[in-house]
Structure 1
Amino acid sequence: MQATDLQLDWLRCFVAVIDAGSLSAAAPLVHRSQSAVSMQIRKLEQAAGRALLDRGPRHLVLTPSGAELLLHARRMLELHGEALAALHGERLGGLVKLGVPDDYAARYLTPVLRSFALRHGAVEISLTCEQSTALIPKVQRGELDLALVSRDRPQRGTLLFNEPLVWVGAAAHEAWRRDPLPIAVYEAGSLARRDALAALAARRRRHRIVYNSSSLAGQLAAVDSGLAVAVLTQCSVPPGLQILGEAHGLPPLPAMQVAAYRSKAARDAPAVDALYQQMLRTLTRGG
């Protein structure tokens, strides 16, 4: 007789795959190998008696049955987290003031907050989205308790992973062919701006700044309109834009070191510590 129990480990892997967008990206979120995650999904589909995910050429897509199950899976995991908190007395409350650049928010902060909310739903989170150069001083002054930032110096916070910087352009406009090269940049002091200008200077590529914006949306608008090329974190490049490189006459760029940076003023706050630990568990990876 076919098994019908939906085990929590299977559901946890299923939700992680949806949130992360792929089996490989989900693996570190559930502390398993990619092959183990794939096996958990197969077991869940066998128990459900139907396909839950369609393996497309670029990413995984929910089937109608998968979309239906996802709603229940999230609730089951939430109830499981509430039960554990009730049994172990982990009833945290209070406010955590959190900062994150907008290019990291959707890709990296979303899985952190989803996992955190399963165990600590009573904690209120106040989110500030700004560039790392603005967030770091706020953490230092105690205006923010915790932030996910691009390091401005090697020892800043706890290193989580390296995020590639890439040149991007709109294929329909081919702005990279112009001389001098028109570029869109973040505000003065931005690490991405600094690295982009240094790379162009080292290559002796003629360029001119034609657009300034402190927001990711502003950068994307400049590129999409054909006004300029820009340097973005790889995680923030939308499908409609083209990643550029040596073949387009553009120099290589260094990676950003992404770190969890915690305020000294919030060292003894249990809710801040819980979110900090969740950030480390979810986002720390080698390389």
Structure 2
Amino acid sequence: MTIGRFNIELLEAFVAVAEAGNVTHAGSRLNRTQPCVSTQLRRLEERVGKPLIERSARTMNLTPAGRILYQHATEILRSHEEARLRLSAPELTGTVHVGLPEWYATGQLQSIFCNFVRIHPNVKLEMTVADSATLHEMLSNNEINLAIALVSSTKQMPVEIFEEPLHWAVGDNCPLTDPLPLIMFPEPCPFREISFGSLARAGRQWYERITTTSVAAAQVAVLSGAGLCCLPSGAILEGFKILKEQDGFPKLPATQLAIYTQSTTQSPIVDYLEEHLNDLLQNAIAPRSALAGKMQPDLRVV
């Protein structure tokens, strides 16, 4: 059987459905109507000659052919977007120093920075991974050009704020009776006040079992069953159990992130990267690819 050439818009519709879990959400993500996405998905299946998604009254699942196509389609779309950006991007030359929270230093956001330097081969990228308090201080001292950091009450309120849910994360074999063993980050981490306040209002008792400055160390401690930890969506790993209200744990408020730039000098590189990151964070809407199982940041713009 000969399969026809793939159309980018059809692949976009297929990947959006795979990652959103249904046609309606995929349409919102692509700014297309639900009938349009359904038609594009059907046309792609006709071109492939095989069903890509199994549909029932309540569920949608990728078929074996769908899983194969999803792997290739994401690469095709990534390459297509990179080519589009390289052709439309301004010529940039120089050095840019960015700061990231540790839980954002890997995965999708890290790949965005790698793509940025590929698109702009004359730009040198320097990256600092630190807690938000340190990043704000470095920005004030003009030691870094741009940072994605937790919103600070001492700074001017950013125009755009991205909300990221917080979760109670625990591994296997961790005792969930009072007093609860907590894995915490030291002051001035805002997750401490959020955790203590939420547990106090729920009438739970706790003790601080492990305190660490490292998100990676906290993740290892959670997986080992040493305690439970308040973590943002971007730090949730496979193997974590998320505790909810039905488990006896209070719902946590969302934390707020924003893109901050230097208080003084600005450059075309920083301006372009700031705009690029704003677009990225606005589009990072799916916490999990519902059909394909791919993790993404869970962010909402407010």
TM-score range, shorter chain: 0.7 to 0.9
- 5 Å-filtered alignment, 1:164-179, equals 164-170=165-171, 172-177=172-177, 179=178
Measure the CA separation in 2 of the matches of 1:258 and 1:112.
17
SS of residue matched to 1:135:
helix
TM-score by length of 1: 0.77
1:84 aligns with 2:82: no
1:211 aligns with 2:210: yes
SS of residue matched to 1:205:
coil
CA contact (8 A) 1:158 1:261 kept: no
CA contact (8 A) 1:161 1:257 kept: yes
Deviates more, 1:35-44 or 1:186-195: 35-44
Q: Which amino acid aligns with 1:246?
A: E
Partner of 1:276: 274
After superposition, what is the alpha-carbon deviation per residue over 1:39-73, rounded to whole angstroms, capped at 9, x for unaligned? 65555555555667899x89869734543455454
CA contact (8 A) 1:8 1:77 kept: no
CA contact (8 A) 1:161 1:286 kept: yes
How many angstroms does 1:108 deviate by? Answer: 5.5
Measure the CA separation in 2 of the matches of 1:108 and 1:184.
26
- 5 Å-filtered alignment, 1:1-287, equals 4-10=4-10, 21-22=19-20, 32=31, 35=34, 43-44=43-44, 46-47=46-47, 63-68=67-72, 70-85=74-89, 90-106=90-106, 109-110=109-110, 112-113=112-113, 116=116, 119-153=119-153, 155-170=156-171, 172-177=172-177, 179-267=178-266, 269-284=267-282, 285-287=300-302
Deviates more, 1:113-122 or 1:274-283: 113-122
Q: Which amino acid aligns with 1:256?
A: T
CA contact (8 A) 1:165 1:234 kept: yes
Gapped regions of structure 1 (runs ≥ 5):
none
Q: Which amino acid aligns with 1:199?
A: S
Change (3 A) 1:114 1:151: same
CA contact (8 A) 1:160 1:259 kept: yes
How many angstroms does 1:130 deviate by? Answer: 1.7
Change (3 A) 1:203 1:84: closer
After superposition, what is the alpha-carbon deviation per residue over 1:207-237, rounded to whole angstroms, capped at 9, x for unaligned? 1101011122111122222211110012321
Q: Which amino acid aligns with 1:160?
A: I
Change (3 A) 1:220 1:141: same
Aligned residue pairs total: 275
Gapped regions of structure 2 (runs ≥ 5):
283-299
Q: Equivalent pairs: percent with the same residue?
A: 27
TM-score by length of 2: 0.74
Measure the CA separation in 2 of the matches of 1:144 and 1:133.
13
CA contact (8 A) 1:51 1:63 kept: no
Q: Which amino acid aligns with 1:135?
A: L
Change (3 A) 1:162 1:112: same
Greater helix content = 1
